[in-house]
Structure 1
Amino acid sequence: MAQLLLNITGLSKQFDTAKGRVKALHQVELRIKEGEFITVIGPSGCGKSTLLRIIAGLDVQYSGHVRLGDQEIEGPGIDKGFIFQEHRLFPWLTVEKNIAADLSLRDPEVRRRVNELIELVKLEGFAKAYPKELSGGMAQRVAIARALLRNPRVLLLDEPFGALDAFTRAHMQDVLLDIWRTNKTTMIFVTHDIDEAVFLANRVVILKPRPGEIKHIVPVDLPYPRKKTTTSFQELRLRVLKLLDSMDELELTDGAGI
């Protein structure tokens, strides 16, 4: 039985702005087991990215508790990988050097791990290529490989496919699921896309508008691999859509990436 990996209790977050104090998150309660794939969806400004940044340890000014394993998260660390919407690769480094990041490829173990990740993200033959020679989807695969280099316990993905065209986005969803099944890394994936949320996840976490609170957690009991055209998929998608439609300020992409 999978063990509890991430335990969030009573999480609230406020920002001080020129217009006053803004509540971003309010009393968020979430428990995630090892190996789960969680998607987080909700209206723009409901605190999805803020939640990821707190889990990543990039923002430690909040109330409540966020524990990874039995340790309170107090800052960034190699046990947490983070992937942004933009790939953020170094343009002067090759694919293999971007994946290695601050580690030397002269180290046999680093070289072995980088080669293993290049194969995992299906970029064989592109180790010596530079970012300008890659498509958007390929560049994001490099970013995923780099985030996995140190075997993080949780991988946090903040709309990583949002800038891709529909065909590439659908392909990258399949690639990410292959990586998840192979690597068994716990993943928390923020998206605005309902189909993407249902297609990827074991559970879909729905946040209500600011201040962000968890309104619903929808289990996705569909076997992998999934097809978006099946009746069971469409029924779950419709259920999530109806839950979102019940909230104000709905700003979601309905069906992008099909």
Structure 2
Amino acid sequence: MAVTIHINEKSFISDGRKVNVLDHIHLSIAPGEFLTVIGPSGCGKSTLLKMIAGLDTDYDGEIMINDREIKAPGIQQGFIFQEHRLFPWMTVEQNIAADLNLKDRKVRKKVDELIEIVRLKGSEKAYPRELSGGMSQRVAIARALLREPEVLLLDEPFGALDAFTRKHLQDVLLDIWREKKTTMILVTHDIDESVYLGNELAILSAKPGRLHKMVPIDLAYPRNRTTADFQLLRQKVLSEFEKTEDLQYAEGAGI
């Protein structure tokens, strides 16, 4: 679904002084788009996601999903955190269903469908302690999708995984995106990941976080990281990212 973001200012008070976190962030995200967001540490990427999720409403501006202003968390915004946050006393299928009743035929059907989509068939009765990190994140993805959110927000969901597992889950996520056509916004520190997944990329500068550059990712899916087109686009993004670090240094030095 369409997401419109108009943030004039997001700030907080630290040691008696006002600290600006985000400043003049204006974004329009089309229905079904996969937007990736990168930027230096401290630029407010995760804060922006929490604002879209309705978890943080203390800011000057407005965020709309399909012309509805976001003022609180809701089922239209799914959120996947850096840690899977599964309930250790529940099985895979129970974690996906969460507070819904698995005996309900419609819930059961949806859970079974999602288990297939995230490639966990055969592990329905397993507990989190029996799962790898990648499997646990797949459960978290399925749980977020169960209520069919209009927008799926992902806060560095693969950051703690090894390279092989990360690549596998990136492909799982792309499969879900193509099948469900859910609007997705993913925050990452990984430039390769941002280019591999997104069809548009937002680069933020830091302190306060501002929108530095929007980069269209005009590469067909599935993508190959070794092609010249991919590497050329990756270099373009890296060059723009390095400019944000230069800006941060210049502002910090009073230049």
Q: How does 1:48-59 map to 2 (within 5 A)?
A: 48-59=45-56
CA change 1:27–1:102 in 2 (3 A) is: same
| CA positional deviation for 1:249 | 6.7
Residue 121 (structure 2) aligned to one of 121, 124, 129? 124
Q: Does 1:62 align with 2:46?
A: no
What is the RMSD computed on CA atoms of the aligned residues? Answer: 1.3
Q: Residue 240 of structure 1 corresponds to which residue in structure 2?
A: 237
Q: Deviations over 1:150-185 (max 9, x none)?
A: 000000000000000111111111111011111111
Cα distance between partner residues in 1 of 2:133 and 2:58: 34
After TM superposition, the structure 1 = structure 2 runs for residues 75-154 of structure 1, keeping only pairs within 5 Å, are 75-154=72-151
Q: Report sequence identity in percent.
A: 62
Give SS of 1:246's match. helix
Q: Aligned runs of 1:5-20 on 2, under 5 Å?
A: 5-18=2-15, 20=17
Deviations 1:59-81 (A, max 9, x none): 00000111111111010000000
Contact 2:7–2:22 (CA<8 Å) still a contact in 1?
no
- Counterpart CA distance in 2 for 1:27 and 1:138 is 38
TM-score (norm 1): 0.94
Cα separation, partners in 2 of 1:214 and 1:104, compared to 1, 3 Å: same
Q: What is aligned with 1:255?
A: none
Q: Is the 8 A contact 1:209 1:249 kept in 2?
A: no
Match of 2:29 among 20, 32, 35: 32
- The secondary structure found in structure 1 opposite 2:61 is strand
Counterpart for residue 209 of structure 1: 206
* 8 A Cα contact 1:91 1:130, kept in partner: yes
Query: For residues 179-206 of structure 1, what are the alpha-carbon distances to aligned partners after superposition, in whole Å with 9 as ceiling and x for unaligned?
Result: 1111111100000000000000000100
CA displacement 1:126-161 (0-9 Å, x = unmatched): 110101111111100000000001000000000000
Q: Is the 8 A contact 1:43 1:249 kept in 2?
A: no
Pairing 1:167–2:161 present = no
Q: Which residue of 2 aligns with 1:179?
A: 176
Q: Structure 2 vs 1, CA of residues 67 and 44 (structure 1 numbering), >3 Å: closer, same or farther?
A: same
Unaligned 5+ residue runs, structure 1?
252-258
- The range that moved more, 52-61 or 164-173, is 164-173
Shift, 1:19, TM fit: 5.5
In 2, Cα distance between equivalents of 1:219 and 1:48:
19
Q: Distance in 2 between matches of 1:11 and 1:181?
A: 33
More helix per residue: 1 or 2? 2
2: distance between equivalents of 1:113 and 1:127?
A: 13
Name the aligned partner's letter for residue 24 of structure 1: V
| Equivalent in the alignment of 2:20 | 23
| Matched pairs, number | 248
For 1:210 and 1:40, how far apart are their aligned partners in 2? 16
Could you list the per-position Cα deviations for residues 88-146 of structure 1 after superposition, in whole angstroms to 9, with x for gaps in the alignment? 00010000000000001011111111001101111001110101111111100000000
CA distance in 2, matches of 1:19, 1:88: 34
